[in-house]
Structure 1
């Protein structure tokens, strides 16, 4: 009883602020609820509307999946490359790591989103740079073919957290492996693919799951930079959910959208874990 007494404040907060709202959300997903009027039970109509009648749902799902499957590999690849470069014993390396990691601390802020808007705008820094080479720029954010790409570049730029985790994993690899490879005459490229990647594969799996879940929930950048446009090319799923809930007060429909997002993330995560048996190396299992 003493233990339960000590955890009672946290347990009460968990039940009242997490479990109860989730149960309410499940109920509201089967209702027509606008916050201003009592909820009316409509069964599976919200889910039928989602898949059959809402074109914005299809567009947002397409944009989100494209964003996830492009940004996550690029982000992890960049983070791993930078981590390998920074995993050296050089004077001032701690300062270099701090400077490189710093953008990730502010990367998801509103200020950076506004700055990104100015960088890729019609009169932004990118077009000013291209003008030195007499290349005509364009409104990268205002063009459907390139708008999503600007958000992907921003996501890749925020590689700091993954880099730190990769760096910690690299430091756990015994140096004897690299010494043995050097004696055998293995090149650095072969050493990377035959030693570093296999031993780092559990860390890669960890980062892959975290970044995939986070990318599915991307909201701030799309809301500030593009507001879902142009032509819904950057209309992220979280932005659709926000609009339905707080712009149109369709809380029932927004709850259904939220639970489908949870289901989608769970499926993708399960697929990642299922396929990880073929490429993740655990020393304790001898694979």
Structure 2
């Protein structure tokens, strides 16, 4: 397995497939998953001739189960360490959910020439939690409930999420895919409970408003309007309004995990944006 070691000694697992002189695409996974969540997209773009890269965020997957640094500044610094180690230039960075927040923070601070385009899919920016400044957000009690459920019985909690709202399997008439549920559980249970606990605060309470304003590359915002994890109205339209070069694509009836449930739709639109 391949790893890069950060300045604080954290070992980050990563995949790096394809010709090293091909256009690089870097995928950023959601909570509490791993690089494996992008297998469909990585194979699709690899077979199209791209170089595809994905890492396990600190505390997730095969990376070090960190008890500190589980917040967005460290996540973005970790991405910078990876892109420096691989000397990636002109890369496209694609982030889902929490990974979308990671992309926003990294791209806003990236060295010149490192990033060509960015994509936010079902992403947490601008900010998820409800406040006077964000009245359409989710109450903090929801995220407190996540933390309580994780501490009480992480294994069951990590079955309940994919079995229900993440993929929309709780909707009437939904075709439930047990393999997808088990794969979500497998990825989640690989990571560290402390890092997953901390990351709930990172994805729900981090304000990405200034990051979005700083991004100066073309950015595609993709979001299903039946997203039960990151509600559409308080995310995608607000995020694209803050971007200098943002484009919004809304998907009627699609869930939070649409990269897995509807890869043909997502992959085609990603390819069009990347190639455009």
TM-score bucket (shorter structure): under 0.3
Q: Which has the higher contact order (CA 8 A, sep 6+)?
A: 1
Q: TM-score, normalised by structure 2?
A: 0.26
Greater fraction of residues in helix: 1
